[in-house]
Amino acid sequence: MAAPRKIDVVLDSVRRLLRIGATANLLNLLQKQHPADVAQLFGELHDRERTAVFNLLVERHGRLAMEAVSEMGPELAASLMAGRSAEEIARLLAEIPSDDAAALIDYLPKELATSVLEMMGQRASADVENLLEYDEQTAGRIMNPHVFALQEDLTAGEAIAALQGLREVEMVFYLYVVDARRHLVGVVSLRRLLLVSPETPLKRIMTTDLISARVDMDQEEVARQVASYNLLAIPVVDQENKLVGIITVDDVIDVIKDEATEDIYRLAGVSSDEHVFTPPVVSLRKRLPWLVINLATAFLASGVVAIFSGTISAWVALAVFMPIVAGMGGNAATQTLTVIVRGIALGELTWSNSRHALVKELLVGVGNGLATGLVAAVVAWLMIGSPSLGVILALAMVMNLFVAGAAGTLIPLGLRALKIDPALASTVIITTFTDCCGFASFLGLAALFLRYAHKAG
């Protein structure tokens, strides 16, 4: 490995200071870290150390403790909170933005969550409850309801004064302009504000052609808009175009990461909320359903082999080469599936061009089938000394890679048409599909050959 990461050095010191009980030094060290780094430290400490350090921090430097909580995943954050009283949790949550608080409360046990909401101040709890009313993975759920907006009849000078009076609104880069009933009517950039004379009315310098997200917009679509228009933030409006919140680019980055993880996981049949350190029992329970589905489909493939057990008895070498046909089909299908699913996710693959994609994948399948089939045929011939088996193997591979291209394209596209996430056409399912076709084509061709050879003989 390369030089140790800075975080590893800090981690070692934290552990050492904790062991010898040097709490003053430990606090001093933690205070020098960025809250995001403190959050990462919590992720890497063992359970007991984590609790000890968090308790210390809550007691002596509550603000840093909660800033770190804001930066960690809601699952870990909730686990740090879980042992505390509802009253204490409510008090601690008052320190962090309401969107982070909402995400965390969502992970608490239901009863505890209810008591925490009751304990929180009226305004804070109303904020959190409002956010929790929106569906998961929508703009409403991830937005920050505290958005800075100005009335359209103010001047640039008044706007600057208003900005200077602000206590703490993180990352103001766009000033949203609203009418008297809080409908979003325009946007002014901070830089533009600097360039005009103070008496210019906002109305004259604002851009009215602005991009916003509706509260019910899917977070993936929000991320796509922010990314493709290079925005730093996107305003969120309700059904009547009233400004209700803001989503900043740092939250969008989290969404993009989460959605990529979700795609990677689904393709492999892993539930999207699993992490490296999800407890074994939970992981086991989450992965088992996929494996059971696979087991059922694997028995399907077994059934195909069972039909031909007479053929295998007559020619045992078939059992030796069976896995090759199936394995190659599975891998080719995984390649196609991955390119198609990612193409859909990135918005490159649409209805209008999907026929083009299918034709391409079929051509690639047949081409790769011919190339690898030929090699396999020669190797099998040299291994077993039977050219006929080689020809059967090559033909079966061409057929199976054709099927792999078709299934890898059509299954995710079909799922999308049914409004199901295309990544759910996971390798688990598609591999068994190519297993069945592979066994059927290879053993079927062999059975035909044996019958013909028998007749000819």
Q: For the CB of residue 113, give the shortest distance to a second copy in the complex, in Å.
A: 26
x/- track of binding to a second copy for residues 42-81 (CB under 8 A):
-xx-x------------------------x----------
100 contacts a second copy (rule: CB under 8 A): no
319 versus 448: smaller Cβ distance to a second copy:
319
Question: Count of residues binding a second copy (CB under 8 A)?
Answer: 122
Q: For the CB of residue 38, give the shortest distance to a second copy in the complex, in Å.
A: 11
Residue type, 312: I
Query: Which range of residues in 58-66, 135-143, 176-184, 292-300 is near a second copy by CB under 8 A?
Result: 292-300
Q: Which residues, at least 6 apart from 67, have a Cβ–Cβ distance to it below 8 Å?
A: 35, 38, 95, 96
The Cα 253–Cα 301 span in angstroms is 42
List strand residue ranges (DSSP E) for 136-198, in order.
149-151, 174-178, 184-189
379 contacts a second copy (rule: CB under 8 A): yes
168 dihedral zone (left: phi>0; alpha: psi -120 to 50; beta): beta
Q: Which long-range contacts (CB under 8 A, 24 or more apart) does 385-393 make?
A: 386/317, 388/449, 388/453, 389/315, 389/317, 389/318, 389/321, 389/446, 392/442, 392/445, 392/446, 392/449, 393/321, 393/324, 393/325, 393/442
Binding positions for a second copy, 124-153, rule CB under 8 A: none
235 contacts a second copy (rule: CB under 8 A): no
Binding positions for a second copy, 176-205, rule CB under 8 A: 190-191, 194-195
In the list 96, 376, 413, 447, the residue contacting a second copy (rule: CB under 8 A) is 376
27 versus 298: smaller Cβ distance to a second copy:
298
In the list 24, 292, 420, 453, the residue contacting a second copy (rule: CB under 8 A) is 292
Q: For the CB of residue 448, give the shortest distance to a second copy in the complex, in Å.
A: 19
Binding positions for a second copy, 311-370, rule CB under 8 A: 312-313, 316-324, 326-328, 330-332, 334-335, 337-340, 342-343, 346-353, 356-357, 360, 363-364, 367-368
Measured at the CA of 77, the angle between CA 74 and CA 81, to 5 degrees, comes to 130
420 contacts a second copy (rule: CB under 8 A): no
If one counts every other C-beta atom within 10 angstroms of the C-beta of residue 112, the result is 17
List strand residue ranges (DSSP E) for 172-259, in order.
174-178, 184-189, 213-214, 233-237, 243-248
Q: For the CB of residue 143, give the shortest distance to a second copy in the complex, in Å.
A: 16
